[in-house]
Each structure stands twice: as structure tokens, then as C-alpha cells.
Amino acid sequence: MDSLLIAADNALRTLFAKPRATEETPAHGLAEGDLSPSEKKLAGALMRVNHVGEVCAQALYSGQALVTRDEPLRNHLQMAAREETDHLAWTQQRLDALGARPSLLNPLWFAGAFVLGAAAAKISDRTSLGFVVETENQVAAHLQSHLDRLPAQDLASRAVVARMKSDEERHADQARQSGARALPAPARAAMRLAAKVMTTTAHYL
């Protein structure tokens, strides 16, 4: 019951409350770049996609923590979710600064990621950790693509994305060291396809 209440609280906080970071944003002290309207629109769209990714990260870890029966693993997942809250807050701050809005479909993204996380944990804890590894690897690659696309003068957004990429790579390493089982190729391909649909849609909605 405690785990269920924690999961419900996390869902409400993620979707309807203003996220609060425990660590200052990497964008602190960086001036806003002099962006053209088209550059500002692009940066806002990319940061909206990144914000969706953090909404999904909250849901993924929450679903996994709810299902696992391994108490140390549950604590690890809940700690990882708290770390991802910083990312959620930082991307929200960038959306505000760029005059952009979060995805209108965030409740849908959250629900889908929650179900996937719970399903992976239901199979086994090693599979659940494997799901974390593959997710974080794909997210890190996705963030690198955003670093390649963000306007060069948008130093604030670039600092946030670079820090997020480093953190996601660390989360993948931690899951791997905890005994993650590599996912089969069809599962990895399906995850890439789902991520493509989500990121393409979130870019606009």
C-alpha cells in the first residue's frame, strides 16, 4: 500500500505540480541567447521533447518501484526518480524561459511509460534493470542529437541538455552494474520505434 501511495503521489506531482529541483540548474548564470523567432521556436520544441522524456522517466521508475519485491532495488529506483526530478524542473524552467509549453499529451506519455516499467519489473528485476539500461542509452543518444540541433547561442539549454546526458549515462552504468539483463534485439527495436513516435509527436504537441 505504501508503494501504491508513493506511485500515486509521484504521478500527481509530475503531471500537475511545479517540479522543484534539489540542485541548481546548469543554466544558472548563463545569459539568454539572442535567438531569432525560428531558433527560439526550435529550442522550445526540443526542450518540450526533453521535458516529455523526464515525465516518462518519472513514470518508468515509479512503475518499476511499485512492482519489484526487492527492497534495495525499490529504494534505488525511487532515488533515481528523485534525481530525475531535477531534470524535470530544469527542462520546465527552460520551457518557461523560451516561452514554450509542455506537451499536451503528458498524461498519456506518463501512463504508457508507467505500464511499460511495471510490465518489465513483473518479468524479473534483471529485465527491469535491462529496460533501464536500454532506455537511458537511447535517451543519451537522443540528447546528443539535440546538442547537435540546438542553436549555438542558446547556451542555457545546451548546458541543461549536456548535464542531463551525463546523468542518464551514469544511470545506465549503475543499472548495468546492478545485474541488468540485456534486452533482445526485437524489444530494443520496439522501444526505438515507440520513442520515435513519442518524440515526433511531442515536438509539436
Q: What is the pLDDT of residues 69-118, one digit of tens each?
A: 888 888 888 788 888 899 999 999 999 999 999 999 999 999 999 998 89
Q: Check pLDDT > 80 for residue 65.
A: yes
Q: What is the pLDDT of residues 7-16, one digit of tens each?
A: 777 777 788 7
107-108-109-111 Cα dihedral, nearest 10 degrees: 80
Q: For position 72, what pLDDT does the model report?
A: 83
* Mean pLDDT computed over 58-77: 86
In the chain, where are the structural domains located? 2-15+39-204
94: number of CA atoms within 13 Å, CB side?
34
Q: What is the pLDDT of residues 29-57, one digit of tens each?
A: 999 989 999 999 999 999 999 999 999 98
More confident residue, 44 or 121: 44
Q: What is the pLDDT of residues 140-163, one digit of tens each?
A: 999 999 999 999 999 999 999 999
Phi/psi for 142 (5° steps) reads -65, -45
Q: Which of 82, 76, 74 is nearest to 58 (CA)?
A: 82
Q: What is the pLDDT of residues 160-200, one digit of tens each?
A: 999 999 999 998 998 899 889 998 898 889 888 988 898 99
Fold type of domain 2-15+39-204: Ferritin (1.20.1260)
Q: How far apart are CA 87 and CA 139, in angstroms?
A: 13
